[in-house]
Structure formats: C-alpha cells, structure tokens
Amino acid sequence: MAGDVLGLVLHPTRDVSEVVGTIADWAARHRITLAVRTEDRARVPASVEAVAADELAGRCAALISIGGDGTMLGALRMAVRDPKPVLGVHLGRLGFLVEVEPPDLPRALERLVEHDFTIESHACLACDVCGDDVVAFNDIALVRQPGAGFVTATLAVDGQRYGYYRCDALVVSTPTGSTAYSYAAGGPLISPATEAMVVTPSAPMAGISRSVLLSAHETVHLELRADSAPVAVEMDGLLIRQAATEGSVHIRYVKDAGRVVRLDPRRYQERNQLKLSLLDLPLLPDQLRELLPDGLREQLNRRELPPPR
C-alpha cells in the first residue's frame, strides 16, 4: 500500500487530534499520503492534503472514519459511487459499525498496510425524495413535526398498493439500519447477511401497525396523503427536508454499495450481540458502568478522559 492515498473522515465536533496524530506518524513511516476534506484542514497536521469533499473518495485507496456510527455512515455515503474500503475508529458511544478502539489502532493500521483484513459489504437505499436523489445506509424516515399531527402516507410495493399509515414516524431501513431507528420503533433485527428492506411505523394510530419485510428486488413508494401533517425527512439521522406537506419517496435496495474493513469479524459480532443486550436493559449508562468489574471500569474511565494539552 506504500504510495497510496488514505482519506480521513472526521467526527464533526469530537477532538480527533490524538487519533489523527497516530495515523499521521504511521503514514510517514510507510510513505503513505493522507488526505482530508477541505473543511477539516485546520484539524489535521500540515502534512495532510486538503481535498474537496466530493473528490475525497475518488482520490483515495481507502477511507479511515474517526468517530462513531454516524461518521462511518457519512464515509460510506461519500464513497457510494466508487466504493472504497472504510476502516472505522471508534470515538463514539454505542457503535455497531465501527470496530477499532484507539488503543488498537497501531496494529489495525499495520494490518491495513499488509492487506490482512476482510471486506464486509453493505447495501444502501437509493431514494428519490420529492425529486431529490439521496442514499442511506441505515434508513430513511418520515417524521412528524412536534405538535402538528401525524404522518399519514400510503405504501405501494412494485406499484401494488399495500395500505396506509397514520403514525408518529415511518422508517424504511436496511439490515444494517435494523439496529437503529427501526429497532427503537419496534422493528425486527435483520441479519446483515440478509438482502431485505423493512418498513416500520413508530407509534401507529391507524392503518398498517406492524413492520413489513420486503425483498431486495422490490421497490417501495411512500406518498403523503392530503390529510398528513407536515413531515420532516431524515436520512441516516440527518435532516434533509423539513415541513414537507406533499410529495413522495421512492426507494430501491442497492447491494454491495459500501465496503467496511473487518479485522476480526467473529469478535466484532460477539461485541455487537453484547451491545444489543445492553440496549434492552432499563439502565442508564452510569448505572451500567457500576455493573462492570473494577479493572474494566477504570479502563473505560481512562479512555473517556480528555487527552493532555
């Protein structure tokens, strides 16, 4: 991999300086060029090149996402036209996509340069939202405006009308996204090996009240009814349209749209199973921390301390 360019995708607000410094030192030893989006130029060493956001993925052999799942999803969307391997470094809280913890980063980078990893493919949803093309690796959601009534929309699959929804939110997710908004709304967990989409209403009042599981070959069409309240449209948790009162969302499944670097797939799956178990416990994070052994709790506390200035 010597001579290649690696792109850094940074969490928008967290302090990433320590992790970026580790990567920059490693890159210098291996004669690897680093690049970052122009808007993040001030957050990285002078040796890192600045590239326009829409050109970063095309310029790089791989991307390194530094943050949580949201940052990872952004990196995948950035590379969707020409999928590149994305390595996730965990600086978030409860992440299901990211794998590498900062203490393990040096070895992870060595394995990256040695091509000692596997690729986990991820599907995306290609969406036409009221005439605008967007992609989502987790989900696309129609969400009610607070105090403004309910989302009321019809569902058609491959042109065949299924019924309608009257609910607080309507979520269409990939298997990857089935652990996110859809899961919180009562939707099923879907194996990442499954090629499928799931449509889940949140707090349904009338119409379809359960999740609808669809194949990867079917297309979804959601259309707001005239009696719907204004709705917001979210893509992977990001607001992309506010107070829409009419229009439709057309969704199709695209396989192999994202490539995630996996270093230890078995350990990664075991860790995610534990995280899902913790989600179902009626405890706050501080209460969960008290259940940990003393040594593990001390490690977690040290990890969350700010780096020395």
Annotated binding site for NAD(+): 69-70, 138-139, 166, 168, 203
Distance CA 83, CA 75 (A): 10
Q: Which residues contact 9 (CB under 8 A, 6 or more apart)?
A: 37, 56, 63, 64, 65, 66, 67, 71, 74, 75, 78, 86
Distance CA 257, CA 237 (A): 19
Catalytic-labelled residue, pool 69, 116, 158, 236: 69
Q: DSSP code of 100?
A: B
Distance CA 100, CA 85 (A): 14
Residue 176 exposure: Cα atoms within 13 Å on the Cβ side: 29
Distance CA 148, CA 144 (A): 7
Contact indicator for 3, 59 with CB cutoff of 8 Å: no
Contact indicator for 32, 56 with CB cutoff of 8 Å: no
Active site includes 69?
yes
Give me the phi and psi of 86, to 5 degrees please.
Answer: -120, 120
Q: DSSP code of 146?
A: T
Token pair for 19: 């992790």
Distance CA 143, CA 171 (A): 8
The amino acid at residue 272 is N
- Active-site residue list: 69
